[in-house]
Structure 1
Amino acid sequence: MQIIKPIIESCFTKYAILLVLSICLCGCNTNYIEIISDKEIDNNTSRTIDVSKTQINIDELLIRKETIEITNLTPIKKIALLLPMTGKYSKIGKVIFEGIEAELNSISKNNRPELSIFDTGDENINLRDTYYEMLSNNFDYVIGPIRKNLINKIINHSSDKLPILTLNYTNNFKKYPDAVYQFGLLPEDEAICIAEKSIIDGNINASLLYPDNTWGKRIGESFSMRFEELGGKVINTIKYKKDEEMEINKSIKSLLQIEKSINRKDYLQSILKTKLQYKPYIPNNLDMIFSVGTSKNMRSIKPQFNFNFAEDVPFYSTSHIYNGVINKEINQDLNDIKFCDIPWLYNNKDILQKKSLRDNVEKRDLLRFVAIGMDSVKILYNINSLKINKKKYLAANTGYLQLDEFNKIRRSLIIVKFRNGKAKEVPF
């Protein structure tokens, strides 16, 4: 016994015990070893079928979009604008108008339509009387309004004689009159775009984080629906309250199962009576994270994932994290996040105009609304082509535009990624 005791106390034996315990611990960890029974072999077979279906969908997603060839522009003489030029939404109304004017300036003066603004910032505006006034004055089109309650009102008075292009969407898929078209920055388009990109990137299992409100739920559900349609699986969802950083951190740790890993480490240290070098592992069934929120939210959330050893897990969000203004220092915390956005912010078009807008403190957060204004004109001039070519796209500033069966303009977007604090377009 006296001969054996020094051997047990030797460093060699201590590390041998450490090795054995580590192997045992890994053997107990389902993240490293998967035991397959006969029943599970059948499940794996069905999983292969799902993958093949997904592959077909991926092939469809990667097909190059066929764009509309603009041959005959719709002749337009007069356009009525229903925009808020005063009141709460006046800043948005004014930059949309700026975009409309910019687009019309590309048309020769002889062919440029006449514009008339009807201010919807006035809460007492009578849309019925306003619409009939437009009819009597022989306007060709109406652009606007942007507020949903006003859209619902004007639709009730619409006529085939005066088509309307609203700058927002109603909350339902009710079939409206053929002369009513809906267009805007629909966040669901971004959620669908990210779901498709995630599948193309090879991700199957996703975790979701979004604000505990109607807006967050809309985006989260749109992502889940498209992601699962393409063969993906949402393995968990976290809803967070705004500005509750401690709660968000707890939720992230729970999602990544950090506490389980810490407990295993503590157990091993208690047996060995030795402090171990330690890095928690992330569950290997987590392929990606889709997190929704503002730029402020994401500058808090993404670093917490990095701090909790999930810096290598693919991370996706929406364009709400970026206002289009380059600020490398502030946006360092957004590095490696992919999101969908409008092409206009990243291409070489209208460089001087975009620089002027970015330098303007009051307008720099509204760049995308300028693009909305520009594209509203582009849509009117090509509305007949969009109606005839339902499977083709209009290449525009806010994306590749397509008219669906409900006369809603849907957008296909580009993919952007933060690198060194700067957002740059990357291949889809």
Structure 2
Amino acid sequence: MLPIGVATTYSVPGRNGAPARPPRRSAWLPASGSRLAMSLLGVSLMGFIVGAAGQPLQPTTAPAAAAAANGAPLVALVVPLSGRQESLGMAIRDGFIAASLEAPESRRFNTLIIDEARVSAAEGHAQALNAGAKALVGPLLKESVVALASLVGASAGPLPGQMAVLALNNLGDTDPGHGVLWQFALAPEDEAREIAARAVALRQLRAVVLIPATEWGQRLLAAFSAEFALRGGVVVDTRTYLPGAADFTVPIRGLLLTTEPGPAVAGSAANPAEKPGLSPGRRQDVDFILVVANSSNGRQILPQLRFFGASDLPTYSTSAIWEDGGADDDDLNGVIFPDSPWVIAPNSRQLLVKNGVVRHWGRALLTVSRLYGLGYDAYQLLPEVLGQPSPGPFAVGEIPGTSGVLYADATGRIHRRLTFAEIRGGRPMSLPAPLPASSPAPPRDP
């Protein structure tokens, strides 16, 4: 890790019209001058333009003049910078500004920062439009994106000279706005589809699925099942569990069709022994298990799957199973999951940023690091967003990003191709991409 020590001072607008106050807050940069390692700015920067070179230009009382001063186009970033989602919005903001500092001069933008928690979708859009922004990045919250899609969609599509919108969440398939705004989110449905694609490429064509009894679980099951079936796979059985339970014996035994174990088994399902005696019998007609769970539930489910004889079955999950920045977790050993390169295999510059965050703010801050990558990639997408007359497939095809390899469909929804990892020794280890199967093998009979 290179030494850290260059600081930047920002002014913050006072409350209730009071004069701006100038507290010293540091945005840390490595002494080598590499700007990507700037992490948290420490202030919201609400009401300020962040210049293309990273400097605060002036309050938004005259944003157009501030943006015109250096000749770079103006964009607006609308994310929550106060309230319950403050940490999420700040992570996105920091990644966005870090990307601006890394960008070549020809791809830099001035940024007007708007707190989504303090304005409606229409108000944020109006502020950005009145300021002369060429693009609006955000909002983040689903309800705000739906409202903004209705507003933008009322014109039946983008008009010449109209501000482009890169929303940081996805619309439902039946919501308005498809084709009139871009949608970029860390969608778990993309992860479920990636799991289906990898399994088929490895000729793992029969699956059993364990999901929480929640709307989230049902969404991921639907995404996985549709993609898996399209590629020739078969979901043999699905069971649900109650999140937060301590013992998942009933759904797991039902899923695996487990028979009674022999007399030498040690431990219990809720607290399995590390070296049980005789394993219970289980079904032999499946190739892998998909477990949809967060890390808390996963720590309970994975050992119980092993206890009931599934230790030889590949077990997949989504990125929710792993908390970036968390401690080593041997209970999750063996689980395979897709995630962003930022989490699984950061390059040297990304690793510098993550190390700086840990050094100055602790590992706990990495729990929102995927959103830092989302903000970084959102900035990188601006040339594509501004260079096309309407949302649709990128002119360049695919764009490598910190959140994955990014591509857009015909409606302007941006998807990710992800890196896979397997947890070994309590830590995720990157896996190579499988060689594509020439054609799916026919599912075998149970």
- Paired residue total: 337
Matched, 1:98 2:94: yes
Matched, 1:363 2:365: yes
User: In 1, distance between residues paired with 2:230 and 2:180?
Assistant: 32
1:81 equivalent in structure 2: 77
User: In 2, distance between residues paired with 1:390 and 1:188?
Assistant: 24
**Offset, 1:414:** 1.1
**Offset, 1:317:** 0.4
Matched, 1:397 2:393: no
Equivalent residues in 2 for 1:102-121 (5 A)? 102-108=98-104, 112-121=108-117
Q: Contact conserved, 2:145 with 2:171, CA < 8 A, in 1?
A: yes
Residues 1:241 and 1:133: Cα distance change in structure 2 (over 3 Å): same
Q: Contact conserved, 2:121 with 2:145, CA < 8 A, in 1?
A: no
Structure with the bigger percentage of helix = 1
Equivalent residues in 2 for 1:15-414 (5 A)? 77-108=73-104, 112-122=108-118, 125-158=119-152, 159-160=158-159, 161-174=162-175, 176=177, 178-246=179-247, 248-259=248-259, 278-325=278-325, 327-328=327-328, 331-345=329-343, 346-348=345-347, 349-359=349-359, 360-361=361-362, 363-383=365-385, 384=387, 387=392, 389=394, 392-414=397-419
Name the SS for the 1:116 alignment partner.
strand
Residues 1:278 and 1:425: Cα distance change in structure 2 (over 3 Å): closer
* 1:416 corresponds to which of 417, 421, 435: 421
When the two structures are superposed, what TM-score results if normalisation uses the length of structure 1?
0.73
Please tell me the root mean square deviation across aligned C-alpha atoms, in Å. Answer: 2.4
Q: Contact conserved, 1:144 with 1:166, CA < 8 A, in 2?
A: yes
User: In 2, distance between residues paired with 1:388 and 1:408?
Assistant: 9
**Offset, 1:347:** 2.3
Letter in 1 for 2:243: K
User: In 1, distance between residues paired with 2:198 and 2:280?
Assistant: 28
User: In 2, distance between residues paired with 1:151 and 1:182?
Assistant: 9
Letter in 2 for 1:347: P
Further displaced range: 345-354 or 140-149:
345-354
Name the SS for the 2:190 alignment partner.
helix
**Offset, 1:203:** 1.2
Larger RCO: 1 or 2 (CA < 8 Å, sep 6+): 1
Q: Which runs of 5+ in 1 are unaligned?
A: 1-74, 266-276
Deviations 1:11-51 (A, max 9, x none): xxxxxxxxxxxxxxxxxxxxxxxxxxxxxxxxxxxxxxxxx
Q: Percent identity?
A: 26
Letter in 2 for 1:340: P
Q: Contact conserved, 1:174 with 1:406, CA < 8 A, in 2?
A: no
Further displaced range: 382-391 or 134-143:
382-391
User: In 1, distance between residues paired with 2:176 and 2:203?
Assistant: 37
User: In 1, distance between residues paired with 2:210 and 2:120?
Assistant: 42
When the two structures are superposed, what TM-score results if normalisation uses the length of structure 2?
0.71
Name the SS for the 1:379 alignment partner.
helix
**Offset, 1:112:** 3.0
Name the SS for the 1:145 alignment partner.
coil
Residues 1:138 and 1:335: Cα distance change in structure 2 (over 3 Å): same
Deviations 1:173-216 (A, max 9, x none): 55636441000100100000001111122212111001100011
Residues 1:108 and 1:297: Cα distance change in structure 2 (over 3 Å): same
Q: Which 4+ residue blocks in structure 1 deviate beyond 6 angstroms?
A: none
Letter in 2 for 1:185: L
Name the SS for the 1:382 alignment partner.
helix
User: In 1, distance between residues paired with 2:356 and 2:409?
Assistant: 35
Q: Which runs of 5+ in 2 are unaligned?
A: 1-70, 153-157, 266-276, 434-446
